[in-house]
């Protein structure tokens, strides 16, 4: 007698073909049989390897019909099209702000709605919400400038500095221009924030006093007013301060160093 089996109760995944089953099994075994001949990175499927190979070849077969921008992956083109359509399918459940990419939503939640900072600096102990923020902070201690210009000998601490240099000095890249005042920006995100100022839109709200701000950074700075936490430490005496400007002024007095601006103001 045949007995029906409830596969959902057994947590059994059903696949449409033997090939699909083979690929699925690799998610359990960790097997990655496809290797890139350029960088030796390995992949679970051949299609993943093909997509990765475009990084090395520079091939970008997917073209936007609106602005002629090209992409190496169809998914990247699909995401890019939201720039033209205005579609923002990813909505924050905490403040209803919407985003065109899931990654942007996750970043928003981490920076705006979470106080968790799992990454700490080995030099000063300062905490950060992402490994990227920590990595960039460490440059302030080491003085490293890992971003170098391919046209000249200039090196930079931050990628945006390199991008600005390429635009201004070598005319390489694309400026983002405000259609209202024609001001130019190196990053699309900065332009978007700039446009909010034209529109008077302040999407970031303080949950303490309900004051509104244009950017998450402005809101973060404002929240210090409601907190007794002092993040900034004087490297000379170890005293802590709530604001960066305060610790800079204190350090000058503590170390006996006259600020460069004061040299001329006193004459």
pTM to 2 decimals?
0.44
Calculate ∠ Cα 214-82-195, nearest 5°.
25
Task: Tell me which range, 8-17, 83-92, 220-229, is most confidently predicted by mean pLDDT.
Answer: 83-92
CA distance 191 to 201: 14
Task: Provide the pLDDT for residue 143.
Answer: 83
pLDDT of residue 166: 92
Phi, psi of 159 (to 5 degrees): -60, -35
Q: Answer whether residue 4 shows pLDDT above 50.
A: no
State residue 152's pLDDT score: 93
Nearest to 191 by CA among 157, 214, 161: 214
Radius of gyration of the chain (CA): 25
pLDDT tens-digit series, residues 144-179: 888 899 999 999 888 888 989 999 999 888 888 999
């Amino acid at each position: 007698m045949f007995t029906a089996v409830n596969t959902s109760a057994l947590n059994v995944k059903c696949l449409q073909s033997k090939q699909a089953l083979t690929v699925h099994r690799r998610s359990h075994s960790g097997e990655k049989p496809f290797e890139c001949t350029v960088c030796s990175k390995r992949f679970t499927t051949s299609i993943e390897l093909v997509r990765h190979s475009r990084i090395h070849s520079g091939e970008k077969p997917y073209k936007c019909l609106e602005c002629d921008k090209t992409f190496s992956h169809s998914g990247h083109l699909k995401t890019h099209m939201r720039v033209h359509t205005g579609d923002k399918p990813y909505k924050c459940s905490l403040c209803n702000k919407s985003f065109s990419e899931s990654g942007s939503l996750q970043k928003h939640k981490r920076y705006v709605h979470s106080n968790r900072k799992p990454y700490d600096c080995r030099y000063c102990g300062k905490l950060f919400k992402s490994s990227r923020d920590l990595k960039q902070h460490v440059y302030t201690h080491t003085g490293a400038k890992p971003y170098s210009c391919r046209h000249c000998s200039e090196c930079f601490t931050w990628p945006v500095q390199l991008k600005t240099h390429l635009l201004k000095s070598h005319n390489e890249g694309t400026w983002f221009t405000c259609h209202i005042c024609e001001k130019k920006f190196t990053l699309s995100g900065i332009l978007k924030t700039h446009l909010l100022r034209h529109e008077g839109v302040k999407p970031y709200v303080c949950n303490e006093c309900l004051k509104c701000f244009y950017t998450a950074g402005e809101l973060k700075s404002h929240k210090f007013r409601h907190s007794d936490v002092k993040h900034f430490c004087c490297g000379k005496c170890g005293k802590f301060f709530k604001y960066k400007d305060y610790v800079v002024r204190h350090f000058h007095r503590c170390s006996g160093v006259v600020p460069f601006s004061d040299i001329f103001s006193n004459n």
